[in-house]
Structures are given as structure tokens and as C-alpha cells.
Amino acid sequence: MCGRDYSFAKAGAAYAFRLFYVFWLDIMLNKTFEPAETEKKLYELWESEKAFSADPQSGKKSFTIMIPPPNVTGTLHMGHALTMTLQDTLVRWKRMQGFDTLWQPGTDHAGIATQMVVERALAAENITRQDMGREAFIQRVWKWKEESGGGITRQLRRLGASLDWPRERFTMDEGLSRAVKEVFVTLFNEGLIYRDRRLVNWDPMFRSAISDLEVESKDVAGKLWYVRYPVEGKPGETITVATTRPETMLGDAAVAVHPEDERYAALVGQFVRLPLTGRLIPIVADLHSDPEKGTGAVKITPAHDFNDFEVGRRHNLPMLTILDEQARVILDEIEDELTSVEGLADPAFVKNLAGLSREEARKTIVAELERLEWLEKIEPHRHQVPHAERGGAVIEPRLTTQWYCDAGKLAGPAIEAVTSGKISFVPKQWENTFFAWMRDIQPWCISRQLWWGHRIPAWYGPDGHVFVAHDDADAQKQADAHYGRTEVLSQDEDVLDTWFSSGLWPFSTLGWPDKTPELAHYYPTDVLVTGFDIIFFWVARMIMMGQHFMHDVPFRDIFIHGLVRDERGQKMSKSKGNGIDPLELIDAYGADALRFTICALTGIGRDVKLGRKKVEDYRAFVTKIWNAARFCEMNGVKAQDGFDPQSVTSPLGQWIIAEASTAIQEATKALEVYRFDDYALSCYRFVWNCFCDWFLEFAKPVFASDDTAEAAEIRAVAAYVFGIILRLLQPVMPFVTDELWTSFGFGKQGSLISQAWPEPIVLAGAEAAQAECNHIIRLISEIRTVRAEMNVPPSQKAPVFLQDAAQHTMERAERWQEAIGRMARVSHVALQQGNVPRGSAQAVVGEATLIIPLEGLIDITAEEERLKKELAKADDEIAKTDKKLGNENFVARAKPEIVQEMRDRLAAQQGESIRLKAALARIS
């Protein structure tokens, strides 16, 4: 327990003692940090104190991030943990910088995904949605949503995400539905939404159209069937077509050959008979046919293949649909033309195909062709087969009437937003990908034959006339005016593509189409943080919709982060079973550790390889901070009101304040350019390698000394710098930092989140302090190295004598006698006088040479070897620098400051060489 109860003793003689007792035993930090407890307590506190609330009336500048709404069916995976951690880090940082921050939460209704979940649950009860009917089914989905949906929002809280929860939206809630209708009606009236009958990617499993983006090509080992088609009027003559889909020949409308293919030139314009149906189809010349592939002649099935569809259009061919919505054979459109011809299949055979699946039909048809000897040969063949990204069914191109959005028209202003720099991608590289897709954008099929989603606000009259309106009353009014009488209307059965509503997210969540204060204050938002996988699905559409309806970009920056992979670089996936559950990591190591790990590993444009081990390693950093805090606490370090860093006079104090300022600059600069890795690592380095390894070590003798004035100053400085550390790390590790913020008396529990981001300061006269501390650090390091290399046990203290030391060097060494003693295991430091004792180790630091008498403890030969090695290294460097300076071209053409740097370097190297030689002479 991190007991925070100040159970003050009653007044009395023992009061002072009790106060002391209470201080040490009741409010000391625990030996270890317990994340679970702190996280729960703090998150609840933040939420109840409305620490995440945005306030459009605040008068402050806004900083806004729209959450990429996770599917309402979703559970938190590593990808979420990554993107949400980055967003939260930015939001928390900007909040500290004094912005009115809005991180807009919400979830997506995710049409197909959610419908699938509920249908699966129904299947367990042996019910289909068709059994239930549309209304009951939708009610059932809503019920599911209320009970089990949105679990992800609870999980986001575990991560520490500072989302403004009371503003949570759902893509199908009332307000957003209103926005969807408004957009649909407007775009329809502008002619940018229309109905069209053309080929779509049809998912026979869901029995719905899907967009190009939802289709995934997969390389599949298939076959190429060579089928002979008899040429009409030329008995015995045939043309052989090669096909990967023999079952679609029922819908063939032509055979195409290349116009310049001499083999077939004479046949163009002739007719062939389809071996199965007896239907006569023409041989046409079309560039689509590739003479190099197969036989150079291809069958054309316009209603079941995208390329063939185009060929069909060019040659005015009939478009015969021979597969139904479940991809079963359907004969309605070809039955009338079945002809009984000698040598061809019997019409009865074809009639028996009705109702067969694609796969069964293929088998049956191939067998029949073989029996009738129309099949020439079969070759193995690898080809690309379109699959539904969700569900995995093989896509069947199908001729249907769907609603389309004229993305081509909307793309222009979206492209302009990026070319003009109103929107910047980070990394910039992604702009090319964006342009490539936007400039070749296809009409967007927005209707889906599902039940769960925004129902298309279109109504049809008895004659099929369409009325698009905000509601049925409005549609009825239009219809009454149109027909001059009251006719019964029926609403379109279809719903809109889920991305249609998420495309409106940046403004629909803010109350659009109403003119709300939120909309005025938070739009355009500042940055969108997301993965590259949804640039087309979502990012592009938000830009198009934002430009069209808000006449402004939806966000200024787009930070595109990589994918989370496992430690071996494999994509995390359910099927591979290599996923890691972020909640489990939070349980094991704490949210702070997970969040810090994510930031530390997020470089620009790189995937994040994340394993347990990494989180475990960075958890050590959380522990390190905790222990540093305990040390400070034990030494009486606590928040001091009115502390003025400019009043600090000790070199140690000035030095660490200057170092802290550098860390603040680095961290701030890194966050400004989305370098989460640099941000995390500069904090890490400052805390661990500067504050803990040096400052606290230097502080130990001060705290232990009798000089209470100096000790008091260093205590105050320690508190001041530790406060900076906590504020610097709050965005990435909000829990442990807040806990410590309170422990040190900086503020009450939960208050760190709203503290000001630290500003770097310039300390007058800090340069001298920095030079002094850096010199002492070098001195100590050098002594440590020599001792370690000579295998001197740390228990063995030895004096250090300075040979040829300048006066100020000597003075410094004396001032830091105590620290050098502790940190380098030195008994005392003194100027070297007289002869160097036998058996001494030596090291060169600046103008001075350190002499460490260790007679009997070191091997003189080894020391000689060591010094020789050092000397060789120094001479090597001299040679390199010498060579450079000897090059006339270098001296003449290189920047003067570089030349000067080289000259300085040479002088230093030569000095070192001379001193090393002297050291060698002394011991040999």
C-alpha cells in the first residue's frame, strides 16, 4: 500500500517524535511500484475530476485529435495500443502546454463485422437473420451493442488514454446518422451520388457488393482449360480458347483475338457455337486478348469478368448473368437460347446445372466437355484470384445496380489539400502513395446488401422513380408532387458502406450539420494518427468529405505509423497465434512500461517490433525512476515553493539544471516532429545516465556533509529537477509520474496532468559549472577504467596523484575530493611530487596525468602493455589527422572551422601522445 493517510498523533510531549515516526514509516514510498493499484485509482480520479474534458469556451487555443474509431466489436490489440499510446502522448503533452485539448472518442458500427458477430451468435441458436426479419434483427444487433459492444472503450481506459469520454460518439447514433443523411442527400442533389448498373465485386458469402479496396488478390494454383469452340459453317474447324473459369462459358458472349494476330485474322467476324448451349457468338478483334497467353484466343463473359465487361461494352455484346447472388448457376437469361445441336451438349444437361455451385458446375462442365471431346488439354496455371478481405470468399464479379459516389470529382480538392501543403503526411513518403491512388480513383460503390448500417435514404415509387430525402415524410412529399397523387413508396433495402459514415467523423462528431461551438473551435483538427493500411479507406475519404462539406481540411498533419510486429518481425495475427495481448502486458508490467516501450520503439516510418522482453526491459526504467524517488525521499528531498533556479550557486546544482534544460529542449523538439523514439530516449538518458548515475551520486557526499547550506541547495535542486523529470515523462508514463508528483508534495493526487510543460532556462554562469562537472566526470571515468582494466578490486582504495596538473585542475580535484573518493574508490587526491612510486597505473586527462600507486596490486608488464596500446591508438589518430591537414586541397577547400577543428584535434592528440610516452618512461 502506498499509504497516504497522515494519521497525525495528538498533540503532546511525543508529538515531534511521532511526526518523525509517521513521516518515516507511514508515508515512505513502497520499496516497489505497484502499477495495478495506482492505475485504477488514478484513472478513476482523472475521470471523476474531468481532467480529460475539452472546453470550447475556455478561450484557449485548441489541440484536437479524432480517435480512429475502433470497431464496436473490437478488442484492444497491439495495433490499438500503439496508435492510442502515441495519440495520448501527444494529447497529454499539448494539454500541459496549455492547449484546450480534445481527444474525441467513439466507435464504428462496422457493418459487416458486427453483422457477422451477431449472425454467428444466432447460428448457435439455429436462427438466421432472414428467419427473424430485418427489424427484429437490427434490434438484436442494438441489444448486442448495448450489452457486449464497446468493450474496447474500457480497455482504452486501462491504457491510460485521456479521451474526453462524455463526448463519446457512435457512427450510428442519432447525430451521426443525421450527418450521414445530410451528406447523402446533398451529394445526390449535386449529382455526385447516383445509381448505376455495372459490374461490382460481389461477395457471395455475404451476398453483398463490396468496394475495390475490400478485395484482396491472392496467388492461387489453378488450371488453364483449353476448350475448342466449333466455327459455324465450317465443319471440322474450331478455335481453341484457354480459360481459368470454364463454368462461366454459359455466359460467353464472344471469343476475342488480338487484331494483329495473323493466326486468327481470317476468323474475325465469323461465329462459333458454344459447345454447351449451342448459342452462336461472334469472334471479335480486341486488344484485350494477349497473343502470348494461352492460345491467343479468349472467351468473353461480360457479366462475370471486369476485363470482359469492357470488351463487351466495346463490341456491344449481351451481358448474360449466369450466377446468382450466392454464385450458383442460374439459367434465367440463357434458357431461351438453348439449342440442341449435333455433337454439342444436350439442353437437358445445361438445365440440370441450375442451382449448382460455381465449383460443382465447373467439375460437371469440364467432365461433359471432355466426354464430348471439346476439351483439348488442361495445364497447371498460377493466377491471381480476388478474395474478400473479410470472410475470405472468392469474389464473383456481378452485374447489379448499386449506388455510387463520384469519387473522381471529390478527389480534386483532396489532392489539392496535400499538394498545397494544407495537409502534410509524416513521413512525407506517403504523399506519393496517396496521389497515386487519388489520381486514378474509381467510382466508389457505397451500397451494401446488409441490414446493419445506415439505410440508404432513397425511396422508390411504383414505377421505380427514386426520391432521395432526409426521411420518409419528405420523400412522400416529393413523390406526391411528382406523381400529382399519393403513391406508396418503398425505401431502398440497402445500407451504406461503413466508411461512408467514418469519412464524416472529423466533423460529424462535432455536431455537424449544426453550427456548434465545438465545430467552430475544434475543426480543422490538428493531427490524425493512423496506420498506412487505411489511407485509402478512411484518410482519403475524410479529406474528400471535409473539403466538400466543411470547405476545409479535416486535419493538418497525418502521422502514419508502422505496424506492430512480433520480435522476429512477423505480422501479429490471430491465425499465426503470435499476437500479444496488451492488457496482459499491462497486468504484468504496468501501463507506463508498455506505453514507454511503444514510444521508444516508434521511429519515423518504421514498423514496431515488440516482444514481451522489450516491455520487461523498459519496465526497469519505471523502477529506476521509482528508486531514484525513494533515494531522494530518504534524503529529505521535497517540493519547495518559490524555488528560483537562478539563485543556485553550486556547480553541481547549476550543472544539473543546465543538463535538465537540454533534456527539455530535446524532448520538446522530438515531440514537435513526432519523433516519439527520440522523446522517450532523451528522457531515458537524462534520467538514468545523467540524473541518477552522476547527479545523485555526486549529491550523496553533499547530503552526508555538515555543510547544511549546500545540502539544502542540492535538496532543492534535486526536487526541482525531479519535478521537471516527472513533467517531461507525464505524457508517456502518466501513472507513476503522478504518483510521485504527489508523494513529493508538488501537488495533490491527479494534478500532474494539468501542470505546465517545463521550459528550458538559461542559467547565468552555468558554462563554468558545466566545464567543471564534465571534467570531474572524465576524471572519475578515467580512474575507473584504469582500475578495472588492471583488475584492482573496488575494495582496494588507492590515492591518485596528479602530474603536471594546472592549478585550476588541482583546485577542482580538491573540491570534489569526497565524490571522487566515493565514486572512483580513491583514498585521497594530491599533486604529484617527487618520484613516481613503483608499480603505479597512469592515465592522461587533459593536461594532467593521473598516477595511481598500486604496488603489488598490478602487473607492471600489463600496465606497460596497456599504455603502449593507448599510445599506439593516439599515434594512429595523429597520423589520420596529420594526413588530412597535409592535404592542400583540404586546407584550401574545407570550411575554415573544420580545418581549425582538425588543428585543435591534432594538438590534443599530440599532447596525449607526449604524456603517454612520459608515463611509459616513468615505469620502465
The contact set with RNA (CB under 7 A) reads 32, 212-213, 216-217, 384, 429, 432-433, 436, 567, 569, 571, 601, 603-607, 609, 613, 617, 619-620, 622-624, 627-628, 630-631, 634, 677-678, 681, 688-689, 692-693, 696-697, 700, 781, 784-785, 788-789, 791, 793-795, 877, 880, 884, 887, 889-890, 893-895, 898, 905
Q: Which is nearer to RNA, 387 or 448 (CB)?
A: 387
> Taking the complex as a whole, how short is the minimal distance between the CB of residue 190 and RNA, in angstroms?
27
CB 415 within 8 A of CB 439: yes
How many angstroms separate the CA atoms of 594 and 608, rounded? 13
Minimum distance of RNA from residue 660's CB (angstroms):
16
Per DSSP (E only), the strands in 20-160 are 62-66, 100-104, 106-107
Instruction: Give the nearest distance from C-beta 212 to RNA in angstroms.
Output: 6
- Phi then psi for residue 295, to 5 deg, are -100, -5
Please, are residues 405 and 193 in contact by the beta-carbon 8 Å criterion? yes
65 or 407: CB nearest RNA? 407
Phi, psi angles (nearest 5°) of residue 383: -150, 170
Query: Beta 106-107 vs 169-170: how paired, if at all?
Result: parallel
Identity of the residue, 368 or 592, whose beta carbon is nearer to RNA in the bound complex: 592
Residue number with CB closer to RNA (337 or 877): 877
Select 217 or 647, whichever has its Cβ closest to RNA: 217
For residue 468, give Cα distances in angstroms to 195, 443, 541, 776, 795. Answer: 12, 20, 22, 80, 88
**Judged by CB, which is closer to RNA: 238, or 781?**
781
Q: Which is nearer to RNA, 692 or 920 (CB)?
A: 692
CA 505 – CA 871 distance, rounded (Å): 67
Least separation, in Å, of the C-beta of 905 and RNA?
5
CA–CA distances in Å: residue 205 to residues 202, 213, 503, 594: 9, 17, 26, 39
**Cell (9 digits) for 408:** 473522381
The answer to whether 912 touches 874, Cβ cutoff 8 Å, is: yes
Query: Backbone phi, then psi, for 249, in 5-degree steps?
Result: -65, -15
Cα dihedral: 360, 365, 371, 376 (round 10): -120
Whether omega before 517 lies within 30 degrees of 0, making that bond cis, reads: no
Q: Kindly state the smallest distance separating residue 921's Cβ from RNA, in Å.
A: 24
Closest distance to RNA from the beta carbon of 568 (Å): 7
Question: Least Å distance between CB 471 and RNA?
Answer: 37
Q: Which is nearer to RNA, 548 or 638 (CB)?
A: 638
The minimum distance between CB 21 and RNA, in angstroms, equals 19
Give how far the C-alpha of residue 654 lies from the chain's centroid of Cα atoms, to the nearest Å: 40
CB of 576 closer than 8 Å to CB of 550: no
Scan for cell 459453317, then name that residue: 233
In the complex with RNA, the residue whose CB is nearer, 140 or 619, is 619
Select 195 or 624, whichever has its Cβ closest to RNA. 624
DSSP 837: P
In the bound complex, what is the minimum distance in angstroms from residue 710's beta carbon to RNA? 18
Q: How far, rounded to the nearest angstrom, does the alpha carbon of residue 691 sit from its chain's CA centroid? A: 31
Please name which of 612, 533, 606, 532 lies closest in space to residue 578, comparing C-alpha atoms. Answer: 612
Looking at beta carbons only, is 167 or 905 nearer to RNA?
Answer: 905
Torsion (CA) 436, 440, 443, 445 in degrees, nearest 10: -40
Least separation in angstroms between residue 430's CB and RNA is 8
- In this complex, which beta carbon is closest to RNA, that of residue 692 or of residue 810? 692
Query: Which CB, 328 or 880, lies closer to RNA?
Result: 880
Nearer to RNA, 620 or 768 (CB): 620
Q: How far is the CB of 552 from RNA (least distance, A)?
A: 28
Rg (alpha carbons) of the chain, rounded to whole number: 38
Shortest Å, Cβ 148 to RNA? 30
What is the residue type of 176? Answer: L
DSSP alpha helix (H) spans, 149-299: 151-159, 174-189
Shortest reach from residue 908's CB to RNA, in Å: 7
Distance of closest approach, residue 782 Cβ to RNA, in angstroms: 9
- The residues near 274 (Cβ < 8 Å, ≥ 6 apart) are 229, 249, 250, 252, 280, 281, 344
The residue among 155, 222, 253 whose CA lies nearest residue 366 is: 222
Crossing angle for the helix pair 612-634 and 734-743, to the nearest 10 degrees = 10
Shortest Å distance, C-beta 894 to RNA: 4
* Residue nearer to RNA on the CB measure, 164 or 782: 782
CB nearer to RNA: give 181 or 541.
541
User: Which of 396/566 has CB closer to RNA?
Assistant: 566
User: Closer to RNA at the Cβ: 640 or 781?
Assistant: 781
Nearest-approach distance from CB 677 to RNA, in angstroms:
7
Cα(158)–Cα(155) distance, rounded to whole angstroms? 5
Q: SS3 for 287?
A: coil
In angstroms, the CA 799 to CA 922 distance is: 18
- How many C-beta neighbours within 10 Å does residue 411 have? 20
Task: Tell me the C-alpha distance between 540 and 442, whole Å.
Answer: 13
Residue type, 117: V
CB of 467 to RNA, least distance (A): 35
**Bridge partner list, 608:** 564
Residues 6 or more apart in contact with residue 350 via CB below 8 angstroms: 250, 276, 277, 331, 334, 338
Give me the least distance between CB of 572 and RNA, in Å please.
12
All residues at 6 or more sequence positions from 162 whose CB lies less than 8 Å from its CB, including other chains: 46, 51, 52, 88, 91, 92, 95, 103, 734, 753
Residue 491, helix vs strand vs coil: strand
Amino acid at 307: N
- Total residues belonging to the chain: 924
Give me the residues paired with residue 845 across strands.
848
